[in-house]
Structure 1
Amino acid sequence: MSSPSRAQVSFVLAGRALTLTPAKVQSCMRGIEPEPITSHAVRLDGRWYPVTQVFEEATGISRRVWTADRALGRLAELGLLLRTLTPWPDEDTVRWSLVDALEAEGWRIDRLVDAEPRTRAIDVVASLGGVTAAFEVKGYPTQPPDGVKPGEVARQWFADALLTAMKARRKHPDWWRMIVLPDVPRYRKLAAATADSFADAGIRVWWVDEHGAVTGERPPLEGISAAASPA
């Protein structure tokens, strides 16, 4: 998640008046290895750090005298990129696995939409080598409403993803369009059953496994040799 960026945020903590800026937070963490992440994380210089570790380093005040929620709120006010650790195959985890994979391959993330609050925008837009790609991300339902089977919810989410990708085709016909799904049998069956429709619409499917590995056909990039990953 992210909030509107502020140049700085001033507050009082443990009797001390403090001011933080995004640059100060970034600089204080350079050269420091991230601790294990158990709940909330903040992205700095391409790496994820626990919110509590970052806030402690940035303020110089022990985490024993403030709450994680307070730290999260202050960092959110600065507009820093935050996430909440969720289990696979939750949509948020699938999305961040995709973002990490894209950045590792050299893609620039042009737009990233939070899972909450939901919007009708494509989840991720990225560019590399003269190619712009739109990625619609879905998770797999682990706690569906009472009386509803996970597979039924997954089928609806799959259809929603296909519709969103098709709308993106009308708005941006020159973009590559991908649906990104957790690699589970239900989605594999749905993708196989609709393979012709995907091909006709020019939509590819990328898969994310429980270890965060992302597979799927990569677009040809201008001046860049990029082999397709196996689906």
Structure 2
Amino acid sequence: MEFIINGEKRDLTRADVSERLRGHEPDRVFEYSVVIDGREWPVKQAFGIAAGLPHTAFTSQTARRQLRKLGFPVDMDQPPVPAAPSPSTRSSRGFDPTRLTEIDTVSATTSFTWLHAGGITLDSDGWPSFPPLPRAPGLYRFSFRALEPGGRGTVYVGESVDLARRGSNYRNAKTDRSSQRTSRRIHKELVRHLRIGGEVAFSIATDVVLGVDGDPVDLRWKSARRLAENAAVLLAQLDGEHEVLNIDADLGAAEPVGDEEQPTRIIAG
């Protein structure tokens, strides 16, 4: 059976698994187990030895999937429940991370390509005019070009189950009576930037690859869109080349409360 992990093609058969596990002893099973030649193994240990990979190079989900494809039975054991501290020690002892038992390792990668949909302009009524957009789920990105040579541009990244409808929301969120505060905020940023001669490009991504095996993900799932969106926002924050309009509450910024709209700054690069 051929499979791909971290971009590398590998081949593994049932006979390979049995042969490569000989001479090894199974560790204690905490959650998922697989039975191979009458012995119960933790799935990550068995797959790692058989495939010649460290346990950090793949997820438990990948191990379970590949072992099932080879016909090995995979089961889930009940994780051990730590003993509750006694009343005399519950309040006096602090959190001790060394007492925690490792259950599983989560490793997720996501990749996609931004496609330039077109520029945003102001129509004769002074409203933002968007390029044609698909009625499909995906990600989108506003790229505000810096007004001064050598200045920093500004980006805003979002996700939607319907990109065309999301563009319409931004266009029509002209009044503060709109219930979508983010749409109002970005609408104002667009109008002010374009009125002073700025340029705004609009990009979309409708195909996202997720996971170490490079599996495509269904973007109708909000969790999938949010994962890709957050990855794009984080990378933009880390590269330092752009100002990021996405609000990060953990860093102290927050959306306006109620009907009180905070003054919107003009993007100057």
Q: Same fold (TM over 0.5)?
A: no
Which structure shows the bigger proportion of residues in helix conformation? 1
- TM-score of the superposed pair, with normalisation by structure 1: 0.33
- Kindly indicate whether structure 1 or structure 2 has the higher relative contact order, using CA contacts under 8 Å at least 6 residues apart: 2
- Given the two structures, how large is their TM-score scaled by the length of structure 2? 0.28
The structure that has the greater radius of gyration is 2
